[in-house]
């Protein structure tokens, strides 16, 4: 039930060049007639993500994901189809008729955002109610201004069981859905639901479009557990896929050309309050690769500002390498002593913080200083284990120049011959690649793993026929329709795509790849197969069509021949013939 006319959708799609659009997020380089870049859907070091300006589709030859502009927006920006179309229209400057308010009811994702919005508004209002003055004071005491509270839409979940529940009921929202979002939960005894967040300060999590995907609730009483209660994963919220505060920071990041990465919500609010608006929080100590990639969309330079204690230092170093391995530049702003960024700025002021920023260090430098702080006069063994630990990180870098610079620094500071360090690095590299051959590295827990697709023989010939049908050459098309048939296909996925394309030709006389992509938007297998076929096949001659049909027919005849032989053999082995021969 498209609420925007198909022609309008076509107009929007065709007025945007997919290469330019994707290039906003991923650095694409021209390679022949296509563009190539690092795939955003799986972790890789060599580019196998191909975008075709001619066909206006993309395909990753590493993980197999493919599609067109709209499916890219759906998969990458986590939008519903209709939201992708509206966003694309806005991007292209095309006006689309506003659809009615209640359209959200039809859209599953929209509905979930809607429920979170109800909850957020409720928590916000509650914070400002006079009976909860003490909660508001909690922020004001921490020098978080009312305007910052309102920007980040901070709130309070009261110490009762049915506060949000009543609001949700009033709004006519499906309680089951609200429970899925972790806002309410079923009572342990008896029927009905209770509020999940109780007596907690609420931090809503936003995606980059500013929609609420989940919540974090900080405890207010010592005995409460856990300290931070977070929303569970849901169709709109995946842990480690958002960065807290990013939606508010985008413009400032672009303007300043770098981003501050802090650990906690209050560190972020402090920096924001103090005018450092290009700040995001990892909210948790371990940064994920997905989060690092998210940063990469906006800037290459990340200033890590973590707590000054040993846990904070460890986390800063670990995250610095996660960031650097994504091709970004990390530097560490060292907060002295046991302070955190929030307390440091509050007690020492912005000038002192600016000075720390100026003194920031690249991770290797920072680590070396840390090492000499721990071991003022290190022995050989200590140097060795330290350099091994450091080289172990560097080995995963793509940037050879950076590796060179870091090794040089290490050599100077530790007084170790540079060429020794290089050969040690190469040894680690060799060991690692040997290891990875034995066990397929699968440390990639946030991206879709690139699973090898098992394909029966002559898959290419089956794909070839589909590719040929996608062309508008009538002669070739008729040849295939007359000479090929469903029985020629052995792979289920190619068969179902072939049938679909034939049906489309019979119904409309043409095949429109974009229309097929939209039809397959929820059908990962056919969508990916279609983009692969469209991007791999170039030989669109009648001869190629004949070859494909010939090969597939030959396979069928071979199979039949084997069957007949089997039959003859079985007959020969049967009792009749045994009698016959024994006579």
Which residues of this chain interact with Zn ion, rule CB under 5 A?
39, 41-42, 60, 62-63
CA atoms within 13 A on the CB side of 122: 23
E strands, 251-353, where?
259-262, 279-281, 301-305, 329-332
Minimum distance from CB of 43 to Zn ion (Å)? 9
Nearer residue to Zn ion within complex by CB, 59 or 526: 59
Is residue 125 within a helix (H) or strand (E), and if so which, with residue range?
helix 108-127
- Rounded to 5°, angle at Cα 299 from 407 and 445: 75
Nearer residue to Zn ion within complex by CB, 349 or 449: 449
Distances (CA, A) of 372 to 236, 304, 368, 369: 46, 21, 6, 5
Which of 277, 271, 272, 282 is CA-nearest to residue 254? Answer: 277
Rounded Cα distance between 481 and 223, Å, is: 73
Nearer residue to Zn ion within complex by CB, 453 or 540: 453
Contacts of 459 (CB under 8 A, 6+ apart): 491, 494
Instruction: Order the strands of the 34-37 sheet from edge to edge.
Output: 29-31, 34-37, 49-52, 57-60, 66-68
Minimum distance from CB of 58 to Zn ion (Å)? 10
Give the three-class secondary structure for 34: strand
Minimum distance from CB of 60 to Zn ion (Å)? 3
Task: Evaluate whether 313 touches 361 at the Cβ level (below 8 Å).
Answer: no
Nearer residue to Zn ion within complex by CB, 41 or 386: 41
Q: CA-based Rg of the chain, rounded to a whole angstrom?
A: 30
Nearer residue to Zn ion within complex by CB, 66 or 204: 66
Nearer residue to Zn ion within complex by CB, 62 or 378: 62
Burial of 56 (0-12, 13-18, 19+ CB in 10 A): buried
Rounded Cα distance between 486 and 378, Å, is: 73
Minimum distance from CB of 20 to Zn ion (Å)? 20
Nearer residue to Zn ion within complex by CB, 63 or 391: 63
Minimum distance from CB of 290 to Zn ion (Å)? 13
Minimum distance from CB of 38 to Zn ion (Å)? 9
Nearer residue to Zn ion within complex by CB, 60 or 529: 60
Minimum distance from CB of 194 to Zn ion (Å)? 43
Nearer residue to Zn ion within complex by CB, 280 or 292: 292
Task: Evaluate whether 551 touches 90 at the Cβ level (below 8 Å).
Answer: no
Contacts of 509 (CB under 8 A, 6+ apart): none
Q: Is the peptide bond before 245 cis (omega within 30 degrees of 0)?
A: no
Minimum distance from CB of 69 to Zn ion (Å)? 17
Contacts of 335 (CB under 8 A, 6+ apart): 305, 306, 307, 308, 312, 341, 344, 356
Minimum distance from CB of 44 to Zn ion (Å)? 6
Nearer residue to Zn ion within complex by CB, 131 or 443: 443
Instruction: Order the strands of the 259-262 sheet from edge to edge.
Output: 279-281, 259-262, 301-305, 329-332
Minimum distance from CB of 31 to Zn ion (Å)? 16
Which of 529, 538, 397 is CA-nearest to residue 462? Answer: 529
Minimum distance from CB of 41 to Zn ion (Å)? 4
Q: Are strands 301-305 and 259-262 parallel, antiparallel or unpaired?
A: parallel
Minimum distance from CB of 46 to Zn ion (Å)? 11
Rounded Cα distance between 252 and 65, Å, is: 33
Task: Evaluate whether 469 touches 503 at the Cβ level (below 8 Å).
Answer: no
Nearer residue to Zn ion within complex by CB, 58 or 272: 58
- Rounded to 5°, angle at Cα 50 from 48 and 56: 165
Nearer residue to Zn ion within complex by CB, 63 or 89: 63
């Amino acid at each position: 039930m498209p609420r925007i006319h198909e022609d309008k959708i076509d107009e929007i799609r065709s007025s945007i060049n997919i290469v330019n659009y994707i290039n906003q997020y991923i650095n694409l380089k021209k390679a022949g007639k296509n563009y190539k870049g690092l795939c955003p859907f799986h972790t890789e070091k060599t580019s196998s993500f191909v975008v075709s300006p001619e066909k206006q589709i993309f395909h990753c030859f590493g993980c197999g994901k493919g599609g067109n502009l709209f499916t890219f927006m759906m998969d990458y920006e986590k939008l519903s189809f209709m939201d992708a179309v509206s966003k694309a229209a806005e991007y292209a400057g095309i006006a689309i008729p506003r659809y009615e308010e209640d359209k959200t009811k039809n859209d599953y994702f929209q509905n979930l955002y809607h429920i979170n919005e109800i909850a957020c508004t409720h928590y916000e209002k509650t914070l400002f109610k006079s009976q909860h003055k003490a909660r508001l004071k909690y922020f004001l005491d921490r020098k978080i201004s009312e305007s910052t509270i309102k920007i980040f839409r901070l709130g309070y979940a009261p110490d009762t069981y049915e506060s949000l529940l009543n609001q949700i009921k009033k709004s006519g929202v499906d309680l089951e859905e609200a429970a899925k979002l972790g806002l309410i939960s079923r009572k342990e005894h008896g029927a009905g639901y209770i509020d999940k967040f109780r007596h907690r300060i609420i931090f809503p999590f936003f995606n980059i479009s500013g929609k609420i995907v989940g919540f974090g609730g900080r405890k207010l009483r010592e005995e409460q557990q856990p300290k931070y209660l977070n929303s569970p994963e849901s169709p709109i919220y995946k842990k480690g896929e958002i960065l807290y505060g990013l939606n508010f920071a985008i413009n400032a990041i672009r303007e300043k050309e770098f981003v501050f990465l802090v650990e906690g919500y209050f560190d972020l609010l402090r920096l924001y309050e103090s005018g450092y608006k290009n700040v995001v929080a990892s909210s948790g100590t371990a940064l994920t690769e997905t989060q690092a990639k998210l940063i990469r969309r906006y800037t290459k330079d990340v200033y890590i500002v973590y707590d000054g204690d040993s846990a904070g230092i460890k986390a800063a170093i670990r995250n610095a390498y996660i960031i650097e391995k994504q091709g970004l530049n990390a530097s560490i702003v060292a907060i002295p002593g046991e302070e955190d960024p929030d307390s440091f700025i509050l007690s020492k002021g912005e000038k002192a913080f600016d000075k720390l920023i100026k003194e920031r260090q690249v991770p290797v430098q920072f680590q070396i200083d840390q090492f000499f702080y721990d071991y003022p006069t290190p022995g050989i063994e200590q140097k060795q284990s330290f350099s091994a630990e450091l080289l172990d990180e560097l080995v995963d870098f793509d940037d050879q120049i950076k590796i060179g610079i870091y090794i040089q620094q290490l050599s100077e500071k530790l007084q170790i011959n540079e060429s020794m360090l290089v050969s040690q690095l190469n040894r680690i590299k060799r060991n690692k690649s040997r290891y990875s051959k034995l066990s397929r590295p699968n440390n990639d827990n946030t991206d879709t793993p690139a699973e090898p697709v098992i394909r029966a023989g002559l898959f290419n010939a089956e794909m070839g026929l589909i590719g040929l049908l996608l062309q508008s050459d009538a002669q070739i098309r008729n040849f295939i329709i007359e000479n090929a048939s469903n029985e020629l296909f052995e792979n289920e996925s190619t068969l179902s795509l072939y049938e679909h394309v034939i049906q489309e030709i019979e119904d409309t006389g043409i095949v429109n790849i974009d229309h097929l992509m939209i039809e397959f938007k929820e059908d990962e297998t056919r969508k990916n197969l279609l983009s692969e076929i469209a991007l791999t096949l170039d030989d669109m001659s009648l001869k190629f069509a004949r070859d494909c049909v010939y090969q597939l027919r030959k396979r069928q005849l071979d199979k039949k021949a084997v069957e007949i032989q089997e039959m003859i053999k079985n007959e020969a082995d049967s009792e009749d013939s045994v009698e016959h021969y024994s006579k």
